[in-house]
């Protein structure tokens, strides 16, 4: 598989993070309706015209790499206990003028794009903390990974025809950093109005 001239022309026009984010938002969300988990390569995502957070981050990172940015991924890990289980999230961080921002594909009204105004990665990650909660208001973001530079992936992740589980494994085995100080045990739940806002979706399942 390889990109057509038309596809390459389109991607070259997306020459700023803001333009890339707008493009990611225009792609319908991948609800994996056949209950088959996927991690599609950028070329598959573009042609199948749907993406979940991981696939959106991969496509976004690739497009940024066409415009002198490093193709980066970062893994946000939530709680994993049965009572407060929540989904993880993958973003594509980028750096401009010494500050960090992030591309983010999500179907919800939160956990979205971040302007490049953050001094370091922890500061960027913490900007997601108060938005990361369940429908009962429980805040669930707990860890974040080291940045993964996709240039280190030996597989042709850009044009790969199968699912990119090797990248998922790389993120999972990378060093993770705790978000909560050990002394903090009881977190205030999100307000009712925040919970209602969090239920807003961009695409219908």
Q: Where are the domains of the chain?
A: 5-198
pLDDT at 189 over 80: yes
Q: Mean per-residue pLDDT for 99-113?
A: 96
Mean pLDDT of 160-164: 96
**Among candidate residues 136, 62, 73, the one with its CA nearest the CA of residue 104:** 73
Angle at 95 between CA 94 and CA 98, to 5 degrees: 165
Tokens of 61: 């990172």
Least Cα distance to 72 among 139, 126, 121 occurs for: 121
pLDDT of 84 reads 81
* pLDDT over threshold 80, residue 146: yes
- pLDDT digit string, tens, across residues 63-83: 999 999 999 999 999 998 878
In sequence order, which ranges of the chain are alpha helices (DSSP H)? 5-13, 17-26, 42-48, 53-65, 121-126, 165-173, 192-198
Inform me whether the pLDDT recorded for 185 exceeds 90: no
pLDDT value of residue 138: 94
Residue 134, pLDDT > 90, answer: yes
Measured in Å, how far apart are the chain's first and last C-alpha atoms? Answer: 29
Structure tokens at 129: 């903390």
User: What are the E-state strand segments in the chain?
Assistant: 72-78, 89-96, 99-103, 114-118, 141-145, 148-149, 176-178
The pLDDT > 70 percentage for the chain reads 100
Phi, psi (rounded to 5 degrees) for 90: -120, 135
pLDDT above 90: residue 35 = no
Coil, helix or strand at residue 21? helix
């Amino acid at each position: 598989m390889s990109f057509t001239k038309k596809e390459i022309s389109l991607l070259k026009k997306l020459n700023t993070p803001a333009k890339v984010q707008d493009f990611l938002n225009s792609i319908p969300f991948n609800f994996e309706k056949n209950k088959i988990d996927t991690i599609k390569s950028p070329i598959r995502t573009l042609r199948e015209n749907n993406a979940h957070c991981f696939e959106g981050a991969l496509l976004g990172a690739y497009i940024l790499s066409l415009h002198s940015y490093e193709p980066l991924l970062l893994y946000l890990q939530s709680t994993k206990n049965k009572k407060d289980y929540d989904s993880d999230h993958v973003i594509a961080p980028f750096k401009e003028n010494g500050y960090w921002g992030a591309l983010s594909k999500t179907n919800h009204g939160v956990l979205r794009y971040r302007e490049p105004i953050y001094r370091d990665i922890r500061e960027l990650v913490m900007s997601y903390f108060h938005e990361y909660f369940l429908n009962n208001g429980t805040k669930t973001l707990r860890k974040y990974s080291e940045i993964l530079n996709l240039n280190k992936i030996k597989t042709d992740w850009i044009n790969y025809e199968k699912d990119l589980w090797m990248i998922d494994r790389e993120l999972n085995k990378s060093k993770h950093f705790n978000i909560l100080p050990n002394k903090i045990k009881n977190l205030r739940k999100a307000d009712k109005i925040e919970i209602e806002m969090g239920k807003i979706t961009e695409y219908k399942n």
